[in-house]
């Protein structure tokens, strides 16, 4: 259920932001989003975000990479045309494996790295010509913005955020198209 109205609380210091997040969480308000100009250490933990599973995908992609390398080299060098090249034993994959290890290693890294990056782009919805979803341009420079949905509790929420040290509080109609 998307709220039509949201509250934007703006902070100018990451320490103040961190304590504000803790207060807001303690009051059981749901934080929609936080915009910061740089990574704030511990913010994800304070917000209670689930840990990323990107590393697990990278491991699986690496497994795909090493399989591709093994199957490819086994087919080309051992099964399809087992030539004698400089006396290297091409009777079985294992016998000639040391020569394939550099390729197996590189393809593992290649698949793990690139597919993980692409996964990251897809999951975080980033691509060229994508419209920026920035509610306030100052959040890329030196301001921090916390977005909380409003459910007929404008006043209490405003007061709470004021107390946490917000320098500016705006209530805005959420533009659904921006997402």
Partner 1 sequence: MEYKISNRLRIAAIVLMVLGALGIAYGFIDSHSVNEGNITEYLANEAHHGGDHATDAHGDEQADTHGDTHADEAHVQDGHEVEAEGHELTHEEHVLHQLHNRPYAALYVAAFFFFMISLGVLAFYAIQYAAQAGWSPVLFRVMEGITSYVLPGGILVLVIAFVADSHIFIWMDENVVAHDTIIQNKEGWLNKTWFFIRALIFLAGWSVYRHFSRKFSVAQDNADINDNSYFKKNFRIAAAFLVFYIYTESMMSWDWIMSVDPHWFSTLFGWYVFASIFVSGITVIALISIYLKSKGLLTFVNDSHIHDLAKFMFGISIFWTYLWFSQFMLIWYANIPEEVTYFVTRIEDYNLPFFGMVALNFLFPLLLLMNSDYKRIPWFVVMAGIVILFGHYLDIFNMIMPATVGDRWFIGVPEIGSILFFGGLFMLIVFTSLGKYPLLAKGNPFIKESEHFHY
For partner 1, the binding residues (CB under 8 A) are: 55, 59, 87, 98-99, 101
Instruction: Name residues whose C-beta falls within 8 Å of residue 64's C-beta, 6 or more positions apart in sequence.
Output: 111, 115
Q: Which is nearer to partner 1, 31 or 77 (CB)?
A: 77
DSSP code string of 120-175: HHHHTT--TTPPP--S-GGGGTT-EEEEEE-SS-HHHHHHHHHHTT-SEEEEEE--
Q: Minimum distance from CB of 98 to partner 1 (Å)?
A: 4
Q: Which is nearer to partner 1, 42 or 121 (CB)?
A: 42
Q: Minimum distance from CB of 152 to partner 1 (Å)?
A: 41
Q: Minimum distance from CB of 88 to partner 1 (Å)?
A: 8
Instruction: Name residues whose C-beta falls within 8 Å of residue 99's C-beta, 6 or more positions apart in sequence.
Output: 88
Q: Which is nearer to partner 1, 3 or 99 (CB)?
A: 99
Q: Minimum distance from CB of 87 to partner 1 (Å)?
A: 7
Q: Which is nearer to partner 1, 108 or 164 (CB)?
A: 108
């Amino acid at each position: 259920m998307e709220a039509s109205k949201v509250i934007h609380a703006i902070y100018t210091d990451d320490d103040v932001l961190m304590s504000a997040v803790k207060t807001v969480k303690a009051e059981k308000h749901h934080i929609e989003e936080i915009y910061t100009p740089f990574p704030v250490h511990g913010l994800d933990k304070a917000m209670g975000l689930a840990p990323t599973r990107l590393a697990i995908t990278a491991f699986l992609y690496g497994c795909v990479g090493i399989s591709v390398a093994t199957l490819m080299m086994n087919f080309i060098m051992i099964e399809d045309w087992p030539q004698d090249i400089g006396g290297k034993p091409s009777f079985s994959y294992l016998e000639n494996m040391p020569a394939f290890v550099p390729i197996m290693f590189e393809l593992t890294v290649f698949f793990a790295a690139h597919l993980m990056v692409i996964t990251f782009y897809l999951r975080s919805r980033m691509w060229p010509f994508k419209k920026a979803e920035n509610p306030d341009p100052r959040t890329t420079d030196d301001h921090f913005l916390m977005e909380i949905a409003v459910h007929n509790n404008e006043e209490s929420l405003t007061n709470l955020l004021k107390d946490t040290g917000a320098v500016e509080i705006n209530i805005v109609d959420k533009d659904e198209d921006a997402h």
